[in-house]
């Protein structure tokens, strides 16, 4: 009987020690997550919609977890206040013109609070201060925009299909131009005639220059062009000479 009692006491003692060890480890883990053992400071911000952000959500600055969300409170029907606990060691990098935004840890991950970097000449944020915020973009708004884009793309595709059907059927000006060989032949003949007309016009101009009655006119035009060119060269030479003299 005495031996049985002694074994029971030993088991009870081991159970109590194990329970205390688990309790200490749990306190350490929770304290580390909540920064109970690290020097911290608090700042706050406000949103119209926290978009699923929860108490205990991580806070990131420059991609690094620097704190957690302490409290989320509804101030009025258009304002939600978010209190943050942040490590004291990063306070030197957070400026009073930084802004808080709500993002995701991954594509479909938990919501997190992201603090943007401030300007170099701004002063450091103080304990208990308020910083600005950027409202999150709701997933429903993104899906709605994507749906509108998809609907517009479907309409454009249907219209393009109708146009191609009409062209292949020979309907419309472009369709007749592609399908009707007569129109194409007429265009070819028109281009050939234009080329012949242009060649004939050049020949007529050359003949006019050789004509006795018009030869004086063309000679005067040629002399005027030569004089204009000579005057331009003289002006350039004069300008260059003035530059050299200076």
pLDDT tens digits, one per residue of 103-142: 888 766 788 999 999 888 889 999 999 999 988 766 655 6
**Chain centre distance of CA 127:** 34
Give residue 69's pLDDT band: very low, low, confident or very high (50, 70, 90): very high
Identify whether the C-beta of residue 59 lies closer than 8 Å to the C-beta of residue 86: yes
CA–CA gap between residue 65 and residue 68 (Å, rounded): 8
> Residue 20 corresponds to which tokens in the numbers above?
């205390």
Q: What are phi and psi of 44, to 5 degrees?
A: -140, 165
Average pLDDT rounded to a whole number, residues 235-244: 72
Specify the DSSP element, H or E, that contains 185: helix 181-210
pLDDT at 60 over 70: yes
CA–CA gap between residue 120 and residue 9 (Å, rounded): 65
CA–CA gap between residue 221 and residue 234 (Å, rounded): 20
pLDDT at 74 over 90: yes
pLDDT tens digits, one per residue of 173-223: 666 666 666 666 666 777 777 776 666 566 556 555 555 555 565 566 677
pLDDT tens digits, one per residue of 24-52: 676 666 655 555 556 899 999 999 988 88
> Residue 52 corresponds to which tokens in the numbers above?
């699923």
């Amino acid at each position: 009987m005495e031996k049985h009692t002694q074994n029971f006491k030993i088991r009870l003692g081991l159970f109590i020690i194990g329970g205390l060890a688990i309790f200490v480890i749990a306190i350490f883990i929770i304290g580390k997550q909540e920064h109970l053992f690290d020097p911290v400071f608090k700042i706050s911000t406000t949103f119209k919609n926290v978009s699923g952000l929860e108490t205990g959500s991580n806070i990131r600055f420059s991609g690094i977890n620097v704190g957690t969300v302490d409290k989320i409170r509804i101030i009025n029907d258009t304002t939600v206040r978010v209190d943050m606990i942040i490590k004291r060691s990063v306070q030197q990098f957070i400026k009073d013109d930084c802004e808080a935004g709500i993002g995701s840890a991954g594509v479909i991950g938990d919501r997190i609070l992201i603090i943007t970097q401030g300007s170099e000449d701004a002063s450091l944020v103080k304990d208990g201060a308020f910083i600005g915020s950027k409202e999150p973009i709701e997933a429903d708004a993104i899906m709605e925009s994507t749906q509108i884009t998809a609907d517009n793309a479907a309409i454009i595709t249907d219209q393009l299909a109708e146009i191609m059907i009409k062209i292949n059927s020979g309907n419309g000006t472009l369709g007749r131009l592609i399908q009707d060989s007569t129109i194409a032949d007429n265009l070819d003949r028109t281009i050939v005639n234009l080329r012949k007309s242009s060649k004939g016009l050049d020949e007529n101009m050359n003949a006019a220059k050789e004509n006795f009655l018009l030869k004086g006119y063309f000679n005067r035009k040629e002399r005027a062009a030569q004089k204009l060119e000579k005057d331009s060269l003289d002006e350039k030479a004069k300008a260059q000479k003035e530059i050299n003299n200076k």
